[in-house]
């Protein structure tokens, strides 16, 4: 990347530089000492699991030209120590300033930003926005769960929302590659930890809120507070709020200038977009709308009520960005389903298989309800729960599968360090008739059992993994893909 700034200029908001080190040229920042190359600048903070200051010597050995480190009672703000002719500069509350620090280096050349937060729908909404922008003749990128970059060539992402430094660097790189817009999935972790603190969002979107990440946030109230901060504690020019969600409806009263979105009723917000009629078919959704931008009708090749809501939120984002309504209506039919999101696999004379990322109770319920409309036979649910995560949602997931599906198979998700059998036992506690559920720890064999025993009128939902092509076990991460399983078992694999 073509970035360079004197160290004195980079840290000027917090510390006045010394002539002995102020002219050091900073071209790249990194929090991971293992990724430091000659000439990089290492940033050492106390993280949630690791104290990066323990790796200062390693970073210097790898060629760091300077180190910015988090100050503490033993290392005062403004103190400098030299190690092998490399300055280690201590800055108070450095962990809180990472977004601004990285923005000082990378932020001069970036695309316009759309941030999407919520429990479910972030990937679909961001990718629909990017598709629509591409169809308009401009170039859009995405950052989130399925990867970072341009839709045709996404690079894997370790987290939904990367570190503050990674985000600023990635946005700079995408802009250099021609992105005029970037749509980001903004996680609750990313908001709480300040990873997007100094970004300016042209549009911020709230999709919905349901149980997730309570192992981190503790309570639903804290989880909601984290999401709400996108609109109250960050730079967000236009707020788009799904008022069909109870939390969104509550927030709309606190955000009077937000655009209220609804499939069910006319919002009372100052700006609004709502559906006047929605019809669903196997070929897609037809959606008539009204609002501040006038009336119209969209035809999109997606399925399910929640996807109708996702489309409306993406559509409102595009309108707020200034795209012409008539052009968006014209190109809506060219939008495509997102990889691993209600993705349909089918062949003649066999059950349809749908792969979806649904890994929360709310997402699973919505996926099953969406498929029920299209199912003339039995609806199957193959579902598991992740290890080392919120145990409370395990019986909830199983209960929803039992309530909304005709046949339930409990399987493994990412067991991580937990015993898969213990995870399944937690799920069984949520079933009224546990003996009716099939248990098969191998996801491939679970899918095979369903396909072997289902009729051609049935639909099988493979829930939880979506786009993922791996499974995290106790001591290793193995290659596994629900999409590949569906293709292999239906004879679609090449």
- Residues contributing to the annotated binding site for ATP: 118-124
**Is-contact 56 83, C-beta < 8 A?**
yes
| CA pair distance 147, 125, nearest whole angstrom | 14
| CA pair distance 129, 144, nearest whole angstrom | 13
Residues in the chain: 494
Instruction: Give whole-number Cα distances, 56 to 11, 62, 94, 95, 216, in Å.
Output: 19, 10, 15, 16, 28
Dihedral angle sign, alpha carbons of residues 10, 13, 14, 18: positive
Q: What backbone torsions phi and psi does residue 434 show, to the nearest 5 degrees?
A: -60, -30
Give the residue ranges of the annotated binding site: 31, 33, 118-124, 159-161, 187, 193, 195, 389, 413-416, 464, 468
| CA pair distance 421, 410, nearest whole angstrom | 10
Match 């429990």 to its residue by tokens. Answer: 119
| CA pair distance 243, 262, nearest whole angstrom | 6
Give the residue ranges of the annotated binding site for meso-2,6-diaminopimelate: 389, 413-416, 464, 468
- The tokens describing 355, both together, are 């792969």
Helices and strands of the chain, counted as H and E runs:
16, 28
| Residues contacting 452, CB < 8 A, separation 6+ | none
| Residues contacting 167, CB < 8 A, separation 6+ | 99, 102, 143, 161, 184, 195, 196, 199
The DSSP secondary-structure symbol of 464 reads: S
- What does the CA dihedral 477, 481, 484, 490 come to, rounded to 10 degrees? 120
């Amino acid at each position: 990347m073509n970035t360079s700034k004197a160290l004195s200029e980079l840290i000027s908001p917090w510390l006045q530089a010394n002539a002995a080190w102020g002219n050091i040229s900073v071209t790249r920042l990194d929090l991971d000492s293992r990724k430091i190359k000659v000439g990089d600048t290492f940033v050492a903070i106390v993280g949630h699991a690791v104290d990066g200051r323990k790796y200062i010597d390693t970073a210097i050995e790898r060629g760091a030209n300077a180190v910015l480190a988090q100050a503490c009672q033993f290392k005062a703000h403004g103190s400098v120590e030299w190690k092998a002719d490399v300055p280690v500069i201590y800055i108070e509350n450095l962990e809180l300033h990472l977004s601004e620090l990285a923005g000082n280096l990378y932020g001069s050349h970036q695309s316009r930003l759309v941030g999407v937060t919520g429990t479910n729908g972030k990937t679909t909404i961001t990718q629909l926005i990017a598709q629509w922008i591409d169809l308009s003749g401009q170039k859009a990128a995405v950052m989130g769960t399925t990867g970072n970059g341009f839709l045709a060539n996404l690079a894997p992402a370790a987290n939904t929302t990367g570190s503050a430094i990674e985000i600023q660097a990635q946005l700079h790189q995408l802009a250099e590659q021609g992105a005029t817009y970037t749509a980001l999935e903004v996680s609750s972790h990313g908001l709480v930890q300040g990873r997007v603190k100094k970004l300016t969002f042209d549009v911020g979107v709230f999709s919905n809120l349901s149980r997730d990440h309570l192992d981190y946030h503790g309570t639903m109230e804290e989880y909601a507070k984290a999401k709400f901060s996108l609109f109250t504690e960050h730079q967000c020019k236009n707020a788009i709020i799904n008022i069909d969600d109870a939390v969104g409806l509550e927030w709309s009263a606190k955000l009077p200038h937000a655009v209220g979105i609804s499939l069910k009723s006319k919002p009372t917000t100052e700006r609004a977009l709502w559906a006047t009629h929605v019809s669903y078919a196997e070929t897609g959704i037809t959606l008539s709308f009204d609002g501040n931008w006038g009336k119209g009708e969209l035809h999109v090749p997606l399925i399910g009520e929640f996807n109708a809501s996702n489309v409306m939120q993406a559509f409102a984002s595009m309108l707020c960005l200034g795209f012409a309504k008539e052009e968006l209506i014209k190109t809506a039919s060219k939008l495509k389903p997102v990889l691993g999101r209600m993705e349909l696999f089918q062949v003649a004379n066999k059950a349809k298989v749908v792969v979806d990322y649904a890994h929360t109770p709310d997402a699973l319920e919505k996926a099953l309800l969406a498929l029920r409309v299209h199912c003339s036979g039995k609806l199957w649910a193959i579902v598991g729960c992740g290890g080392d995560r919120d145990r409370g949602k395990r019986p909830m997931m199983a209960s929803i599968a039992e309530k909304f599906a005709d046949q339930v198979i409990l399987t493994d998700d990412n067991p991580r360090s937990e015993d898969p059998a213990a995870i399944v036992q937690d799920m069984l506690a949520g079933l009224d008739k546990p003996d009716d559920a099939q248990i098969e720890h191998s996801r491939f064999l679970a899918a095979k059992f369903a396909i072997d025993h289902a009729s051609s009128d049935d639909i099988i939902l493979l829930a939880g993994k979506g786009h993922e092509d791996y499974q995290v076990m106790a001591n290793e991460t193995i290659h596994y893909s629900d999409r590949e399983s569906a293709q292999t078992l239906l004879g679609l694999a090449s």
